Amino acid sequence: METKQGKNPEMERKQQDVTSVLLREERLFKPRKEVADIAYVKDWEAELAAGNDIEAYWANKAQQFEWFAPWTQTLDTSEAPFYKWFVGGKTNIAYNAVDRHVRTGRRYKLALLYVNERGDERKVTYYELYREVNKAANALKKLGVKKGDRVALYLPPCVESVVSMLACAKIGAVHNVVYAGFSVHALAERINDAEAKVLITADGTFRRGQVIDLKAVSDEAVSSCPSVETTIVVKHAGNPITMSDLSGKEVFFHTLVEGEPSECRAERMDAEDMLYILYTSGSTGKPKGVVHTTGGYMVETATTLKDVFDIHDDDLWWCTADIGWVTGHSYIVYAPLLLGTSTLVYEGAPDYPQPDALWSIVERYGVTKFYTAPTAIRHLMRFGDKWPQCRDLRSLRILGTVGEPINPEAWMWYYKHVGNERCPIMDTWWQTETGSFMISPVPTAPLKPGSATKPLPGIHADVVDQDGKLVPPGKGGFLIITTPWPSMLRTLYKDPERYVKTYWEVIPGGVYCPGDIARKDEDGYLWIQGRADDVLKIAGHRIGTSEVESAFVSHAAVSEAAVIGKPDPIRNEVIKAFLILKEGRTGDAHLVEELKKHVRHELGPVAVVGEIVFVQSLPKTRSGKIMRRVLKARELGIDAGDLTTLVE
């Protein structure tokens, strides 16, 4: 993050943006009576006050789960920023998410409802899920997977992906899910960094009427992953694939679990034992392996879902994210199952086969709580109001968004046309690193379109300048989290130094710095404006500029690359690349197309290239670091600030 070089043009632009938003945005939406009457959090301010004593607050929330042994200390700060929660406590998150419900009236309740864009469905009760998880857990054990071993998952959102994650958790193996839109290189890099022993993949996944072959990508990746002993293949899309004839190296999921016992003892996990690694983009090329542990993650994901979306026993919860992102981990899989609710798992695009794809599912199944990304809302808005209007959306009670700031226009469209002016919108701010919602309203909070409101009870955040001094209301600065929280990342896998440097040493005072720019208004509401660092947010997906740059320079024609985010009305940002070509290469339209394809192949469809320009030189510091902010300032037509360190 460019904090030490004077003015930050990005921050200034965002300050200007938000000023204009704040000037216009005076609407306040008070909670409706029918929402407030049944809400768990009746009095928002009182609950926020209760959260001031973080230890007491979170210890109380942790009581709703089953612990095999109680914790002796709620929070250990002695090795900060390596915090520990629920010290000495023993539990198992899969046991709490599945086994616990099987002994109650929820035994035959719908746990998973899988739906895809072709209209296929699969319903799994808690009891069925229990059996499937146990069989898969036993099968993994048979392959020699033990507590602490890493298992990589490269799967579409489907029943088996949920089962596989829970099976790992049940036996204490650490899952490392890789988004199935990532390509060979990204998959191999993540498997190798985690040194995964097993890879679970599928034949294919459905996307816009096509089947994408995942097995081919896995094969190519595994050929450079020496740690992988076995590849397990889920037969899912039915596309033709070839299995290796090396016996034992590759096996079908259904063959493997067949005949396995449907009982499996839950591994006794320490609250601080690793639950999963999830790679995410940072400012440098190498993805960061965010490490989440068991106890605190369990407590906070479930608590936040319960309080923010007011989850009751008659709910059908739908989070439209992919299982490969943290949103899918926390809010498709763990939190809803921990609460014993029914969670909808969707595989497909939001506008396929028609722009009412999502609304027709809400109608067909009677979804009550719906959680999606602003980019999806902006995309669907374009097709007009008639698509949500022609569907019966009366079952909806609460709506939500995540992933990037939501502009008031999209908020209003969502509120009017999807929620019919009945459903409050929960704008939840959080990150892969935070594990759970951090800044978000609850249903009884008065809402301002475009603001995620306040830090949740038990969470404390503020806005400061680069010296860590609080900035006055209305002024922009760096968002910080001032107290530890249970579902916080514990470290970066195999790189504790990077953990300390990236998050805890940016702003003085021992506070967590998420890398976002924000501002607080007179009412204490937070307005998040976007990233302060070299991380792009394309359609809600996070990707580092340097990852994209390395993808460009891995092409034979490219000598140097600099990448910035270019504002995009639907996707928030797309990639704009400045490239220096190698001697003798010409930047024609043909090469532009080839490069776009190349980057997509390297990084997957997340990397949407909007524009490529060929240049003779790039702005650099004396030490040779590309000054992306200069390019960005030029792109946005604003002053680039203090450029004295610039040589070229």
Site of interaction with ligand WTA (CB under 6 A): 280, 325-327, 402-405, 427-432, 452, 514-516, 528, 530-531, 537, 542
Burial of residue 498 (CB within 10 Å: 0-12, 13-18, 19+) is: middle
Q: How far apart are the first and last CA of the chain?
A: 21
Q: What is the closest distance, in whole angstroms, from the C-beta atom of residue 633 to ligand WTA in the complex? A: 20
318 CB-near residues (< 8 Å, 6+ apart): 343, 344, 346, 361, 362, 367, 369, 370, 371
Q: What is the DSSP letter of 646?
A: B
Going by C-alpha positions, the residue among 112, 34, 119 that lies closest to residue 316 is: 112
Q: Is the peptide bond before 156 cis (omega within 30 degrees of 0)?
A: no
- DSSP for 138-154, written as a single string: HHHHHTT--TT-EEEEE
Nearest to ligand WTA of 402, 575 (CB atom): 402
How far apart (Å, rounded) are the C-alpha atoms in residues 47 and 164? 36
Q: What is the closest distance, in whole angstroms, from the C-beta atom of residue 164 to ligand WTA in the complex? A: 21
Rg (CA), the chain: 24
Nearest to ligand WTA of 15, 432 (CB atom): 432
Copy the structure tokens of residue 17: 């943006």
Q: Are 203 and 234 in contact (CB under 8 A)?
A: yes
Nearest to ligand WTA of 542, 555 (CB atom): 542
What CA–CA distances, in Å, run from 311 to 47, 331, 426, 483? Answer: 17, 12, 13, 26
Nearest to ligand WTA of 513, 595 (CB atom): 513
Q: What is the closest distance, in whole angstroms, from the C-beta atom of residue 310 to ligand WTA in the complex? A: 18
How far apart (Å, rounded) are the C-alpha atoms in residues 178 and 284? 19
Q: What is the closest distance, in whole angstroms, from the C-beta atom of residue 401 to ligand WTA in the complex? A: 6
Q: What is the closest distance, in whole angstroms, from the C-beta atom of residue 329 to ligand WTA in the complex? A: 10
Q: What are phi and psi of 162, to 5 degrees?
A: -65, -45
Q: What is the closest distance, in whole angstroms, from the C-beta atom of residue 233 to ligand WTA in the complex? A: 28
Q: What is the closest distance, in whole angstroms, from the C-beta atom of residue 265 to ligand WTA in the complex? A: 33
Copy the structure tokens of residue 411: 């908020």
Nearest to ligand WTA of 9, 324 (CB atom): 324
Nearest to ligand WTA of 297, 430 (CB atom): 430
Q: What is the closest distance, in whole angstroms, from the C-beta atom of residue 406 to ligand WTA in the complex? A: 7
Q: What is the closest distance, in whole angstroms, from the C-beta atom of residue 431 to ligand WTA in the complex? A: 4
Q: Are 602 and 185 in contact (CB under 8 A)?
A: yes
Nearest to ligand WTA of 432, 545 (CB atom): 432
Q: What are phi and psi of 217, to 5 degrees?
A: -65, -45
Q: Are strands 558-568 and 572-581 parallel, antiparallel or unpaired?
A: antiparallel
Nearest to ligand WTA of 350, 405 (CB atom): 405
Q: What is the closest distance, in whole angstroms, from the C-beta atom of residue 538 to ligand WTA in the complex? A: 11
Contacts 24+ apart (CB under 8 A), 213-216: 213/239, 213/241, 214/154, 214/155, 214/156, 214/180, 215/241, 215/242, 216/241
How far apart (Å, rounded) are the C-alpha atoms in residues 268 and 254? 27
Q: What is the closest distance, in whole angstroms, from the C-beta atom of residue 499 to ligand WTA in the complex? A: 15
Q: What is the closest distance, in whole angstroms, from the C-beta atom of residue 325 to ligand WTA in the complex? A: 6
34 CB-near residues (< 8 Å, 6+ apart): none
Q: Are strands 110-116 and 90-91 parallel, antiparallel or unpaired?
A: unpaired
What CA–CA distances, in Å, run from 639 to 1, 149, 568, 604, 636? Answer: 18, 51, 21, 34, 9
Q: Give 354-384 as a 3 state SS string.
A: CCCHHHHHHHHHCCCEEEECHHHHHHHHCCC
Nearest to ligand WTA of 398, 561 (CB atom): 398
Nearest to ligand WTA of 96, 304 (CB atom): 304
Nearest residue to ligand WTA, scored by beta-carbon proximity: 432
Q: What is the closest distance, in whole angstroms, from the C-beta atom of residue 312 to ligand WTA in the complex? A: 24
Nearest to ligand WTA of 92, 529 (CB atom): 529
Angle between helix 184-194 and 214-222 (nearest 10): 50
How far apart (Å, rounded) are the C-alpha atoms in residues 61 and 206? 39
Nearest to ligand WTA of 215, 379 (CB atom): 379
Q: What distance separates the 2 farthest-apart alpha carbons in the chain? A: 72
Nearest to ligand WTA of 567, 587 (CB atom): 567
Nearest to ligand WTA of 328, 340 (CB atom): 328
**141: how many CB neighbours lie within 10 A of its CB?**
17
What CA–CA distances, in Å, run from 7 to 40, 478, 636, 638? Answer: 44, 13, 15, 12
Nearest to ligand WTA of 257, 452 (CB atom): 452
Q: What is the closest distance, in whole angstroms, from the C-beta atom of residue 341 to ligand WTA in the complex? A: 20
Q: Are 399 and 373 in contact (CB under 8 A)?
A: no
Which ranges constitute the DSSP H helices of 371-489?
A: 374-381, 386-389, 408-413
Say how far residue 110 (Cα) sits from the centre of its chain.
25
Nearest to ligand WTA of 89, 514 (CB atom): 514
Q: What is the closest distance, in whole angstroms, from the C-beta atom of residue 104 to ligand WTA in the complex? A: 31
Q: What is the closest distance, in whole angstroms, from the C-beta atom of residue 371 to ligand WTA in the complex? A: 11
Copy the structure tokens of residue 630: 């200069």
